[in-house]
Chain A
Amino acid sequence: MATAGEGAKKASKLLNDLQDISFTKIGLILAGTWLVVLIARTLLPYLAERGPSRMRLFLLGGVPIIRLLMLVLAILWVIPIIFNITLQNFLVISGALGVAIGFAFKDYASSVIAGVVAIFERPYRPGDWVRIGDDYGEVRAVGMRALEICTPADDIVHIPHGKLWESNIANSNDGARTLMCVASFYLRPDHDAARVRCALRDVAMTSAYLEYARPVLVMLAETPLGTHYQLKAYPFDMRDQFHFISDLTTRGKLAIAEAGAIETQAIGSVDAAKIGT
């Protein structure tokens, strides 16, 4: 009877006795986890920038996965050292955690959970170019709570993973090494459209940045601003996208002038998106 009572008493204890908790072991586990994550965060991007281009996204994508695995491993290792794990205690801890998260850390927990979902669903990975809300840029890092993107203006923007629940995420390359680039031109309507199309196609075909394996497209549509030409093509490396667009634009202007067409004056105050372009 005494033994059964002792067992019940022991089972109802939430925490292990202080003398049974090995703080040294916990410290070593946490330090080891932190060290592995730090090495992964430092070494993989270093190798990605210096290794073959085709390996870059693969290496960058490994960072959040390694961090998640290490954290899960550390938590599963540390919990039994501190807590006396029984079904009853599990329910107690879960309840307490639920209340704490519900009141104090709801948004934080939501972002952390969204971060875990993002690792598996992969709407973005380090190295991808994404648009979330009004922000467009390269995903530099995927953290526990937020991702970090670097915009073309070299601003670093931190976006909570929680955005995953409420907004659309446009991924321009989705893990590929290239993405579609678009150079836009607005021309006065009175011109030889076939000639301009051919000239613009050759502008893309003769770019030093062109990826041969992807298509080159020239699209046009009439808009209140004039005839809108979109020259769409892919660079062989997405990091060259702005060089590529600049090259297409520079040479495209010359080709348009040579084809006898005239560009309309750019009207900065007009929001092209509102007028159906």
Chain B
Amino acid sequence: MDPIELIPLADYAPPAMPTEQAFRALLKRVQRRFGAKDDHDHPLLPSGALVRTPVPVLDDIADPPDCGPILRTLHCNLDNWAAGAMASPRVQLIVVPACDRSGSIESWARSQNHMLLPAPERDDLIHSDGMAATESVDSIGEGLLVIPQLERWFLRQRNGLTMVRTLLARLAASQRRCLIGCDAWAWAYLAKAADASLVLPRPRTFAPFDAARLRAWFAELAVDDGPATTFRLARNGEDVLACDDEGEPCNNWLRLLAARSGGIPWVAWHLWRASLQVRTDDAALSDKAASTVTDDQRTVWVVDTDEFPLPSGHEERALLTLHAILTHGGLSASELDAVLPATGEASVLQALVDSRQLCCDRGNFSVRPTAYPAIRRALEAAGFPLGVS
């Protein structure tokens, strides 16, 4: 697929949900509110006929990394600028959508051997003025300096903004050329709390992934040395990746996925992998299903994924926790205690991990990409300030 564009942050508009699906989703939420159970009705296949796709197969048909097209975009848009010693602008800010677990800006910088300014330890954010950590911003260097994760330079705590303010002040005074990456939720906060938008006035972000882009990407990923794979909707057998002459998907499933993921490629990729299922060995196909898959070399079934509810009775605390984690791009339990109001309530962290909203990697809690759409919607409904993309 062709690389996408970098666009001004203000122009970012997530793909819209198709009208019919929007009504269906609303109806489903109302039914769930009144206690109705979701029915996963797959008329084509008997109940229990599908199981999760094994990881090796998934890695064949939807292989990592989840940021492949983004890396291509960065190469296409930034390589020339990074190579030109006098190229304008001197400082570029790229606002990265939430849940970028691969560290796309850092991966690109490493691949180009650019100098990276590592983020300080979070403990140092409280006790240091940041002068030492930001020295290399002032140093005269020929090459580009990359600050891949601005969200790691602050802690939303009384003394936790000093370091990022020092960094921004040095960036404003320096002559060094810099590329800065910042999470969309952190940017919304820093623009308010540290006036970051005054120092970095023209943020850009990646164009949203619409259905056509997702189709091109997933079709590209599905090509491997094995048999050709056909992705069929479990509910009606339609080929999800089938498209018309203009490359637009023939059915609405990918439009729904694009809208649900907010146009964020890695969120869409994780949801895509989570929705892929294969038939169990002993599951028989109905006549209709058999006729549908006659010409397929390999069929992978696409199902709708579940959304997990917030811990009952602790919704407010859960949302405060999720919002803090999104704002910082991940936090440890002790850091979370430092940034949340001390209300004496029990921590909901474990409940959020159990309900598959959060994942924990070496003590650092972050939002699962598959849970992000539901979490964003819940935060929006509760009135929380949201990320900028």
Contacts and interface: CB of A to CB of B under 8 A. Distances in A.
A212 B341 contact: no
A212 B323 contact: no
A203 B383 contact: no
Contact of B188 (A203, A212, A250, A255): A212
A208 B156 contact: yes
B161 A212 contact: no
A58 interface: no
A274 B385 CA distance: 39
Nearest to A243: B341
B342 interface: yes
Interface in B315-357: 320, 323-324, 339-343
A272 to B, nearest CB: 26
Contacts of A207: 341
A88 interface: no
Contacts of B383: 53-54, 177, 236-237
A51 interface: yes
B166 to A, nearest CB: 14
B41 interface: no
B320 A203 contact: no
Contact of B156 (A50, A206, A243): A206
A207 B189 CA distance: 11
Contact of B160 (A52, A199, A206, A247): A206
Interface string B152-164: 0000111111000
Nearest to A255: B158
Contacts of A246: 341
Nearest to A200: B158
Contacts of B323: 208
Given A52-B381, A177-B383, A205 B324 contact: no
Nearest to B316: A240
A206 B161 contact: yes
B158 A213 contact: no
B161 A53 contact: no
A174 B340 CA distance: 29
B297 to A, nearest CB: 46
A208 B155 CA distance: 12
A211 interface: yes
Interface string A196-234: 000100110111111111000000000000000000000
B380 interface: yes
A250 B342 contact: yes
A205 B161 contact: yes
Given A207-B341, A208-B323, A212-B188, A254 B381 contact: no
A52 B378 CA distance: 8
Contacts of A247: 341
B192 interface: yes
Contact of B384 (A199, A203, A236): A236
A199 B157 CA distance: 11
A206 B161 CA distance: 9
A272 B40 CA distance: 64
Contacts of B382: 53, 237
A251 interface: yes
A52 B191 CA distance: 26
B385 A212 contact: yes
Question: How many interface residues does chain A have, given as a range?
Answer: 20 to 34
Contacts of B342: 250
Given A243-B343, A250-B342, A251-B158, A205 B192 contact: yes
Interface string A244-277: 0011001100110000000000000000000000
Contacts of B160: 206
Contacts of A243: 341, 343
Chain B CB within 10 Å — which of A208, A213, A251, A254 has the most? A208
A175 B193 CA distance: 26
B33 interface: yes
Given A211-B385, A212-B385, A237-B383, A202 B161 contact: yes
Contacts of A255: 158
A252 to B, nearest CB: 9
Contacts of B191: 212
Given A50-B33, A212-B192, A206 B381 contact: no
Contact of B341 (A52, A199, A209): A209
Given A50-B33, A212-B189, A206 B157 contact: yes
A203 B380 CA distance: 24
Interface string B280-318: 000000000000000000000000000000000000000
A255 B156 CA distance: 14
Interface string B46-63: 000000000000000000
Nearest to A199: B158
A203 B158 contact: yes
B385 A208 contact: no
B381 to A, nearest CB: 4
A246 B384 CA distance: 19
Contacts of A206: 156-158, 160-161, 193, 339
Nearest to B193: A205
Contacts of A202: 158-159, 161
Interface in A149-173: none
B332 to A, nearest CB: 17
Nearest to A178: B383
13 contacts: A50-B33, A53-B382, A202-B161, A206-B339, A207-B341, A208-B320, A208-B324, A209-B341, A212-B188, A212-B189, A236-B383, A236-B384, A236-B385
Given A54-B383, A250-B341, 10 more contacts: A205-B161, A205-B192, A206-B158, A206-B193, A209-B341, A211-B385, A212-B189, A236-B383, A237-B383, A251-B158
What are the 10 closest A-B residue pairs judged by CB atoms, nearest first?
A53-B383, A52-B381, A212-B192, A205-B193, A212-B385, A247-B341, A237-B383, A206-B156, A236-B383, A53-B382
